[in-house]
Amino acid sequence: MIEIDRVTKTYGGRRVVDDLSLTIPDGALCVLLGPSGCGKSTTLRMINRLIPFDAGEIRVQGEDIRNVPPEELRRRIGYAIQSTGLFPHWRVEDNIATVPRLLGWSHQRVRDRVTELLELFRLDPETYRHKYPHQLSGGEQQRVGVARALAADPDVLLMDEPFAAVDPLVRDALQGEIARIHRATGKTIVFVTHDIDEALRLATVIAIMERGRLAQSGEPLDLVERPASDFVRDFVGNEAAGLKSLALRKVSERAQPADSAAGEPISAAASLRDAFAAMTARHTDRLPVIDESGRPAGVITLADLVR
């Protein structure tokens, strides 16, 4: 658990983070979202003491971070950034092994951990272990950057716009991997982005920031369907918020128990947006629904989507 408690940071008289309080529960994937200059990156970098704050308190797993020496704190918290920051003169293996070696792990344990992480990111260990960062594609570099952050198995992972610099296809794949790794490891992740779609896709909790203050925090659907202010409403996309909300809800929430309809069925676990897309593509206003085991589970109609 990360508790940010009435924290303020001032740069030259300007409050970039202003009396911010936010609690991130264990196992959450909390996205700090907002326009540039809203203080989201500053907030992230205060959690591992890269930036000192002027007032308030931050606790990680109950411990006031100012009582932990900065280097020790940072080795317990994973850190991944936009341009990866991979050490260009170290091989992939050495980059990933940075923190385990700082912590004095044995040679064999480090080696096994590197293998495990490369496999987790679907990079063949024997091919990639000895490569240098400049020999990797952008997406591979970013995977290695996140693998380095995870190397010493930290409870908390900080990610500062990690996928902002890669092309959309690669970003989509990387987001999928982060979601998968979050589910598999249950780590607490704090993720900074200005991309609302990325936030809605990944977050279990979103905190929207506006000029150093918390504009609203809550589950993604909450923010989309019940924005607390015009700022939040604008940020989640006004009318387009309707589409975003469809993406967050499942077919099973709206399906009607009815005789099955004609045509290719859609899974109950698919999103309402997928159902909408399927209806549009097939020029129909109703789709049969099937559950995970493939049994008929009713029908979903166009009217159900806008209910």
Among 99, 110, 232, 287, binds other proteins (CB under 8 A): 99
When the beta carbons of 154 and 288 are compared against other proteins, the nearer one is 154
The residue assigned the tokens 């982005």 is: 193
Check: CB of residue 280 under 8 Å from CB of residue 262.
Answer: no
Give the total of residues touching other proteins (CB under 8 A).
35
Mark 148-167 with x for binding to other proteins (rule: CB under 8 A) and - for no binding: xx--------x---------
Stretch that binds other proteins, among 86-94, 115-123, 215-223, 246-254 (CB under 8 A): 86-94
When the beta carbons of 160 and 304 are compared against other proteins, the nearer one is 160
Collect all residues with Cβ–Cβ distance below 8 Å to 225 and sequence separation of at least 6: 241, 245
Sign of CA dihedral 121, 180, 241, 32: negative
> Which has the closest alpha carbon to 54: 63, 44, 66?
66
In 3-state terms, what secondary structure has residue 50? coil
CB of 134 to other proteins, least distance (A): 6
Rule CB under 8 A: say whether 171 interacts with other proteins.
no
- DSSP state, 256? B
When the beta carbons of 39 and 78 are compared against other proteins, the nearer one is 78
Stretch that binds other proteins, among 15-23, 126-134, 188-196, 251-259 (CB under 8 A): 126-134
Rule CB under 8 A: say whether 50 interacts with other proteins.
yes
Among 29, 30, 31, 86, binds other proteins (CB under 8 A): 86
> Which has the closest alpha carbon to 189: 228, 234, 154?
154
Spatial distance between the Cα atoms of 7 and 60, rounded to a whole number of angstroms: 14
Residue 79, beta-bridge partner list:
158
CB of 142 to other proteins, least distance (A): 12
Residue 116, beta-bridge partner list:
none
Spatial distance between the Cα atoms of 102 and 76, rounded to a whole number of angstroms: 11
Rule CB under 8 A: say whether 101 interacts with other proteins.
yes
Rule CB under 8 A: say whether 126 interacts with other proteins.
no
CB of 153 to other proteins, least distance (A): 14
Give, to the nearest 10 degrees, the angle between helix 272-282 and helix 241-248: 110
CB of 69 to other proteins, least distance (A): 10
Collect all residues with Cβ–Cβ distance below 8 Å to 38 and sequence separation of at least 6: 209, 210, 211, 212
Rule CB under 8 A: say whether 217 interacts with other proteins.
no
* Total number of residues shown for the chain: 307
When the beta carbons of 48 and 216 are compared against other proteins, the nearer one is 48
Rule CB under 8 A: say whether 145 interacts with other proteins.
yes
Binding region for other proteins (CB under 8 A): 45, 48, 50, 70-75, 79, 81-91, 94, 98-99, 101-102, 104, 130, 132-134, 145, 148-149, 158
